[in-house]
Amino acid sequence: MPRLDSATQARAQRRIDSIADFRRGDTIKAPFARFETPKSFEIDERLRFNREQILTSEATNLIELLDRVPGVVSYRTGWLASAHIASYLGDFARIRVFMDGVELDAIDPRSNRVLDYTDVHLWALDEIVIERAAGEVRVWCHTATVNRITPYTRTDVFTGDLNTNGFRGLFGRRFMNGMTLQVAGQQFATQQGRSSAFGTTTGVGRGDGANQTLNARVGWANARWSADVYGVVTTRDRDAQEGIDSTPDVLAFRGARREGYVRLGYGDTSSGFWSQLMLNSLRVRLEGVRDPAEEDTTVRSDTTRVREQKVLAVGYRTNTWQLSLTERLRTFEGKAWHAPAVRAAYSARLFSAGLFVERTPLDSSQHADASVRFAPLPWIALGVSHSLRQFDDTTGRDDESVTRVEGGLNWKRWWLTGGIVRQSAFSQVAPTLVSGRVQILTAADENGDPIASTAVLFGARGTIYKSLRLDVQGTRWTNNLTYRPQLTVRSDLSLTTSWLGRFPRGEFGFNAHIIAEYRDPFDFAFFAGDDRGPVFVRSQVSRVITSLVEIRIQRAVLFYQFHNVSGQPYEYVPGIVMPRQVQMYGVRWEFWN
């Protein structure tokens, strides 16, 4: 047999290696465990977002996805680096966020249990499911994972007005033995031509700042078992913001949030028996501000708080029903809180029902949410949800109940919806991120009895022509109470197409949105830190228009956003004026290499 020369052997070896690389690149490994996703009882599916929908939405922050939920009102004090908070039915404590099943707690001294949604990074998520019960909203986030052997890379670069500059990068790959490695990072900053609040000079103070985030995952998974370690570190700084007239200043912020978990999972939460054990640790550092005042919410020196959360969950799920038990154990400053929860649901073509019961030690309450959806015909759907929350006697708070009844008609590719919300009492936790001292507000009449409230919900969603769609929704309350505008309306006119007639392989895409938001004036309560009670500041009418244009070529997406197209002054927090007009543009590029 003739002997091959070295060049021929090298070519043959390269061919063998390329075939092996191709086969390895085509391999998809077993996914990692995911926390259970609740069944939806919405009239139509509009509060579930996969990775593509998250990236192509106009949202730069979780708060802009929550704006799509009827009853949610968002508050911002500025651009990207500022404080972002939201309330549901007027209560800031009734929106809860879960990351891979771990509840994100707000434990820094100035939060009053109200989470700043700047700490939730949309770019690092695979899926968001918003569960809208009658009495609270639960947001279930799933962090990004990869299942393919071929390495995955994504980079985002953006710039814009207010000296906005940012970069994101994500890398992940699976190995033949089931192992995974993922790393991701983000850096962005905004500054209106002045020094930081923690620098050597004093500026006007408009909430500019910087954000650096790094997260990583290592783990292993096979067909039934998975184990992984995930961690995220975020450091932030933000200038102080000056309030107008009676509005107090928003204090400067500089600190870090470090959170991570170890997870062991068995089974698939979408089918059959499953169980998960998670050990989570949260560490928050708040550094002292330069000009401390005497309010209780001002930190005069560096403060570090640590909280651990252990989650044990088991469940079983079929195509028609699911049942799960979850136990959360939090430890903080030598104390422990147990938060057991039970979830059950049944789903069929015409009828579905669900029940969620939980003990919540953070506000000394226990609550139950029951939901029913009935669709007797393809063109009609009815939904009823009821929530009951009972507080311990030590809190001095009355029990609260909320009932929501909704209906929808499907007519010529349109869903026309309407409903009523009835709230037995109006009691809320004040957001100390922007309002000052910790307080709980309760609305009562002249006899001291709780004030009940009723809201009317209305909406229309459908196709105008081909890929041109319109989504309009609104909420109108019978009374105008603190932190709650009487009327809010949001409309989204969108055009999303891949133009398959011209590009049949799908290498082109176009996505455009025009979003208009309106809200009535409302009262915002600020607390001065003494016994004088709250100072109420009334907001102005808010009309904001935002536009988004995206063009996709292969795997690269060029995007352009224009916030407040009309240029009219507006504010989400009374006395804190938002930037008039902000443009941001950049590119997202992902590839398998």
Burial of 35 (0-12, 13-18, 19+ CB in 10 A): buried
Average pLDDT over residues 67-96: 91
pLDDT higher than 80, residue 144? yes
Mean pLDDT across the chain? 87
pLDDT higher than 90, residue 433? no
Average pLDDT over residues 486-499: 96
Dump pLDDT digits (tens) for 93-137. 899 999 999 999 988 877 777 899 999 999 999 999 999 999 999
pLDDT for residue 198: 42
Task: List, in sequence order, every residue forming a beta bridge with 579; answer none if it has no partner.
Answer: none
Q: Are 563 and 577 in contact (CB under 8 A)?
A: no
Q: Which of 174-188, 226-240, 243-257, 434-448 has the lowest mean pLDDT?
A: 434-448
Q: Are 173 and 144 in contact (CB under 8 A)?
A: no
Residues in the chain: 593
- Multiple choice CATH, 21-592, 2.60.40.1220, 3.40.50.1370, 1.10.357.10, 2.40.170.20: 2.40.170.20
Domain residue ranges in the chain = 21-592
pLDDT for residue 526: 78
- The percentage of the chain sitting over the pLDDT mark of 90, rounded to a whole number, equals 62
Q: Are 274 and 267 in contact (CB under 8 A)?
A: yes
Give the count of alpha carbons within 13 A of 507, CB side only.
Answer: 5
- pLDDT confidence tier of residue 551, bands split at 50, 70 and 90: very high
What is the DSSP secondary-structure string of 458-497?
EEEEEEEETTEEEEEEEEEESS-BTTB-SEEEEEEEEEEE
Please list, residue by residue across 358-393, b when 16 or more beta carbons sit within 10 angstroms of its beta carbon and e when fewer do. bbbeebebbbbbbbbbebeeeeebebbbbbbbebee
Dump pLDDT digits (tens) for 523-548. 888 765 555 567 788 889 999 999 99
- pLDDT confidence tier of residue 19, bands split at 50, 70 and 90: low
CA distance 61 to 328: 27
pLDDT for residue 361: 85
CA distance 568 to 289: 32
Q: 0.95 cut: is pTM over it?
A: no
pLDDT higher than 70, residue 438? no
Alpha helices by DSSP H, listed for 374-516, are 432-435
CA distance 564 to 583: 9
DSSP state of 298: -
